[in-house]
Amino acid sequence: MASVSSALTAIDAIERVYRLTVLIRRIYKEAEEYPESAKEVQEKFDHELLFIEAFRDLFHSETGYLSPDELNKLPQSGHLILLDIENIFSRLYIELGKYAIFVEKYDMLVSATLKEISTTNDDAKADETKKINALEKMRQWRGRTLGLRYEYALFDKKAILELLNQYSQWNERLRQTMALLFMIKPYKPASSVRTPALGMQTFIKWQQLASAVVPSDFISLPGDLEDLDEDSVAAAEIGGVQKSFTVADYNDGFGLRKVIVECRRYSPSLVLATEEKDENEIKTLKEPLVSLAWLLQSASRLDKSENGNTATSYNSMKVLHCEGYLDEPDENRAFLIYQFPPAVSESEQDVRTLHALINASNGNVPSPKPSLNERFSIAYILVNTLLSIHASNWLHKNIWSRSIAIFTPTQHSTQRSLVPYLAG
């Protein structure tokens, strides 16, 4: 069982980072020389601080998601996740170390000044003089210290924005860690106004989709595929070429547009059931495909509604937007229909897989391999995607080089490296 002591050490690490962040924000706010710059940074500070505050709420002693009573119910794996949370905040505090020394001196001065001001004196005039002197002393010290910020490169705009970028990176890792914890202990968002700051609403809904029942009215897409390269489809089914996808024109009755298709050949049992017109057996055997298409379609719609995008983007989760499935019982097959990613031109006539990229050649001459930066970028995106998939209680049973589509971004895209997407 996860011990309460593990949570206490995590809470202590969270509190240290929280207090330090509040003080850094307060000190920067008092830099009045560049008010416009300060306002921009303050907004970023508020955003990151709100996340930490929402995270603290999870450990509320009585009502929190990880209150002492709830902690005692966690398995050993929960204890390891709490340890990871502690490590994240401890590492972040180390990153803030150069600020901690400065802030400690600043906070001590403020505390001493406030204590001096609060001291009562029978002589009202003398007391007022002491108050003015104390405030002036603090103002002068503060002014001298803040005036050195460019020398120490602590509180200029560039340094602070770099600091906030570190906050964003560590906060993103915290979201990933919390996703794993949510797998062990389901999370019901509280009504607190800070709860949305966790940025986990879409992710939690993905977890709920994994255990949801497919609606009875979810059926095959209408329309048909045109300009379908049957040779490529047949070769892909038996692994004869280095791809599992092909591009086709999909006519849904409202128009013709290019889509990415992935063929799913009927199993021998389904072929037999189809020939015998055994509806119950057909429904049972098609259930895995139908469930997969519904899950991918629902997740894509959910992400689109919350992010204004046509492809899942949370935690860099690169999964092709599935519109549904197109059943072709006469051909003993079905197709999963995917949209092109938003940053990719639909004019592409083919979709490369990772397998094709690795083994590309021009005749007998191997083609140049992707650069080291591109290979690292592909690996990084795939690792994040896999983490998000598994933490959503989804399970991909067929991850291999032919189930990963590789796209080249358009010239107007902010993405410069090759972009991998999982499918199927």
**Is 353 within 8 Å of 402 (Cβ atoms)?**
yes
Rg (CA), the chain: 28
Cα–Cα dist 115/104, whole Å: 16
Domains of the chain, each with CATH number or no CATH: 4-193 (no CATH), 224-422 (1.10.510)
Q: Which helix (H) or strand (E) holds 333?
A: strand 333-338
Q: Is the pTM of this model over 0.85?
A: no
Long-range interactions of 153-156: CB distance < 8 A, separation 24+: 154/98, 154/99, 154/102, 155/27, 155/28, 155/31
Measured N-to-C along each axis, helices 157-184 and 35-57 cross at an angle, to the nearest 10 degrees, of 20
User: From CA 300, how far away is CA 319, in angstroms rounded?
Assistant: 8
Query: What pairs with residue 326 in β-bridges?
Result: 335
Residue 29 gets the label, from left (phi > 0), alpha (psi -120 to 50) or beta, of alpha
Identify the three-state secondary structure at position 211: coil
CA distances for 258 relative to 250, 255, 282, 350, angstroms = 6, 10, 30, 11
Report pLDDT for 34. 52
Residues 6+ apart with CB under 8 A from 37: 157
Q: Average of pLDDT values for 69-97?
A: 79
Question: What tokens were used for 132?
Answer: 């003015």
* Residue 40, CA distances (Å) to 25, 27, 48, 160, 423 in order: 12, 15, 13, 11, 40
pLDDT at 312 over 50: no
Question: Tens digit of pLDDT for each residue in 122-163?
Answer: 544 455 555 555 555 555 555 555 544 434 456 677 777 888
pLDDT category of residue 311 using cuts at 50, 70 and 90: very low
Residues 383-394 have pLDDT tens digits of 888 887 877 778
Closest CA to 264 of 289, 243, 296, 292: 289
Q: Is pLDDT at 310 greater than 50 in this prediction? A: no
Distance in angstroms (rounded) separating the CA atoms of residues 42 and 295? 40
Residue 280 has pLDDT above 90, yes or no: yes
pLDDT in tens, 160-190: 788 888 888 888 888 878 877 877 777 776 6
With tokens 């103002």, the residue in question is 139
pLDDT tens track for 189-237: 665 556 666 767 777 777 778 788 889 889 999 989 987 777 666 655 5
